[in-house]
Amino acid sequence: MSGINPLKPAIKRFDLAYSVRWNLFLITSGALLCAFAMKSIAVPQQFIPGGFFGVGALIYYKTGWLTPGILFFLINLPAFILGWYKLSPRFVLYSLYGMVVMTVAFEVMDIDVVIHNQFYAAVACGVLNGLGGGLILRSLGSGGGLDIIAVYLFQTYNIGVGKVYFGFNLALFLLCLTIMPADLVIVSLILVFISSAMVEQTLALFSQRKVVFIISDHSEAISQTILDSMKQSATFLKGMGAFSKREKNVLMTVVNNIQLKKLEEITFTHDPQALFIVENTFTVLGSSFSKRKIY
């Protein structure tokens, strides 16, 4: 396999993903959105959002102690102690910052969002909470609590993060069914489902890439145009026709959605008979793409 490098100077570039300011921006924005969703929609509707905040909300609904925000903060403390000794200090400090911002924002916010229909309220809350959670998870930190425990269990016992969330929320909602109206539990489940889907969409929004394979007798000319016109790297893979037994270069490159149409135009301009294969991918690490996320 031979590679074609882009025509760029070998200069170490500044990686925004590891910038302290960028990470604090993501965490702050996400935490404020989550706090707004909880304070203005979830708590007035008495929803259970899942996770540690859901536990705090449930305690508040049934006892009237403190506030959901303060209870969320207190429930998180043991998890942060565990994380400090078992996980990366950077990850824990970023997560602690996110938890503090969310707690303080929840306590000081006073914005009323009047939604009479509970289903509509669950959808709105799920979208806002999921967007906020997705922004936080794009950083090198987390929203705290259950995130820290999930990362610890994954690194130590190879228990999937999704399984930890599923198991915890399953236990929480089974408990809720015994002490809360079933309708309220069901609409809270809808909120959590929408929130989870929104987190996935937010994480994928700027990460989606296209892996393109180009099979053509003019692959050399196509690759040179990709380098000159798109300033994009590419790689030759050695292939062989199953029928003809003739060796042929297969050109592979990775582009985003915006670049895809231009790449298609370049390919078929050089060779109208080319085979152009596109695969979706969300994780491309290394080279000029994203760096591996290290907590």
Beta bridge partners of 281: 209
Over residues 198-220, mean pLDDT: 79
pLDDT at 245: 73
Q: What is the arithmetic mean of pLDDT over 32-36?
A: 93
pLDDT band for position 291 (cuts 50, 70, 90)? low
| Average of per-residue pLDDT values in the chain | 81
pLDDT band at 105 (very low <50, low <70, confident <90, very high): very high
Helix axis angle, 89-108 to 146-157, nearest 10°: 160
pLDDT at position 167 is 86
CB 6 within 8 Å of CB 226: no
State the fold for domain 209-280.
Answer: Alpha-Beta Plaits (3.30.70)
Within 13 Å, how many C-alpha atoms sit on residue 150's CB side?
A: 20
Mean pLDDT within 5-23? 56
Sorted by where each begins, the domain ranges of the chain are 16-206, 209-280
Over range 159-172, report the average pLDDT: 81
pLDDT number for residue 284: 57
Instruction: Give dist(CA 161, CA 167) in Å, integer.
Output: 10
Angle (nearest 5°) at CA 210 between 209 and 214? 155
Separation CA 196–CA 56 (nearest Å): 19
* % of the chain with per-residue pLDDT over 90: 18
pLDDT reported for residue 274 = 86
- The mean per-residue pLDDT over the stretch 217-221 comes to 86
Query: In the predicted model, is pLDDT for residue 41 greater than 50?
Result: yes
